[in-house]
Copies of this chain bind each other. A is one copy, B any other.
Amino acid sequence: MITIAIDAMGGDHGLEVTIPASANVVDSHQQINLILVGLEAQIRKKLDQHRCANRDRISVQPASEIVAMDDPPALSIRKKKDSSMRVAINLVKDGVADACVSAGNTGALMGTAKFVLGTIRGIDRPAICAILPRITGSTYILDLGANVDVSPEILFQFGIMGSQLIESHEERSNPTVGLLNIGVEEGKGDETIKAAAELFKNSSLNYVGYVEADHIFMGGTDLIVCDGVLGNVALKASEGVAQFIMSVIKQEFTSSVFNKLSALAARPTLNAVKSRLDHRRYNGANLIGLNAVVVKSHGSADATGFRHAIEYAMKSSGSGLVERISQHIAARMETEAVRENASTA
């Protein structure tokens, strides 16, 4: 059995989304227990409103506070020690839960998780790793906003963590890794990215070189590494253009009676398109580099999206991800220590 702690109060919609998603998950998966963390009376009341055949696999853990979406991370860590987010993370630390999922304030979630769970030894900074769709397969990308200033070493560690995530989640060994840059030629980019490229080249990672941002969706590289600013801009720009295109399609198919009729004929195909492009299927990003699995759901996710985030946490918690990263980093630190000793001897 896998047990997941759910920050039931987090996100733009709180219980409206987390409760139906949780009910759906326990009814769809036999090997899972959920612990809903938050205001107990409200959670129980909401649970009673939802049909759930496997209610016995949902338990409630009371927590009296809620981290607001705009709470400063430092404040929420210091002052809200009984928040649903904090208590959910505590359950993971105490070994009661295998992983936790929250749609709450990203900065607070990352800060609290770092504080409570700690970072894997040898990893300087945890990162946010998401999965984005391609025509065939998908692209893993990190960091998506946790780290504004990064060093070449930190970018390289992102590469190690992302590669291990892919190996543990997908049937791809030795996944390809690219560095996001403003051109593919050698001389492109700033000093940080150039130094990072050297680290990647001289490593055991399957490094393929620089990639540009269109490559995220149209390329074939398994993992794309970047700092949190570029990752955020790439993700948000793509969300914006996807929304824009869907709006144009909707406008055109409703712009006249004839077009409405043609939309009727095309409806099954348009629905198939919509379903393939449904971003909710990609909801759930790993806060990677921590000593346990923490999954962030989009704050505005609906129940379908949040269900995907819980399922993603299930997959991650059974994958031995933390151990894999620990081993890889420990081996690297050892090699480096040997090399340093040799060079100073």
Q: Which residues of A contact B (CB under 8 A)?
A: 70, 72, 133-135, 145, 148-149, 180, 182, 185, 187, 189-190, 212-219, 228-230, 232-245, 247-249, 251-253, 255, 258-259, 261-263, 265-269, 272-273, 276-277
Residue of B at shortest CB range from A261? B265
Q: Is B248's CB under 8 angstroms from A273's CB? A: yes
Q: Is B244's CB under 8 angstroms from A218's CB? A: yes
Min Cβ gap A124→B in Å is 18
Given contacts A185-B70, A259-B268, A266-B263, contact A237 B233 (CB under 8 A): yes
Q: Is B214's CB under 8 angstroms from A243's CB? A: yes
Q: Is A273's CB under 8 angstroms from B244's CB? A: no
Q: In the bound complex, what is the Cα–Cα distance between A273 and B265 (angstroms)?
A: 17
Task: Tell which of B219, B229, B273 touches A230, judged by Cβ atoms closer than 8 Å.
Answer: B229
Given contacts A243-B218, A245-B245, contact A232 B135 (CB under 8 A): no
Q: Which residues of B contact A219 (CB under 8 A)?
A: 240
Q: In the bound complex, what is the Cα–Cα distance between A258 and B244 (angstroms)?
A: 28
Q: In the bound complex, what is the Cα–Cα distance between A272 and B251 (angstroms)?
A: 10
Q: Which residues of B contact A145 (CB under 8 A)?
A: 182
Q: Is B148's CB under 8 angstroms from A244's CB? A: no
Q: Which residues of B contact A70 (CB under 8 A)?
A: 185
Q: Which residues of B contact A134 (CB under 8 A)?
A: 244
Q: Is B268's CB under 8 angstroms from A233's CB? A: no
Q: Is A240's CB under 8 angstroms from B269's CB? A: no
Q: Is B252's CB under 8 angstroms from A272's CB? A: yes
Given contacts A234-B237, A243-B218, contact A265 B268 (CB under 8 A): no
Q: Which residues of B contact A269 (CB under 8 A)?
A: 252-253, 255, 259, 262-263, 266
Q: Which residues of B contact A276 (CB under 8 A)?
A: 248, 252
Given contacts A229-B230, A230-B229, A265-B266, contact A240 B215 (CB under 8 A): yes
Residue of B at shortest CB range from A259? B269
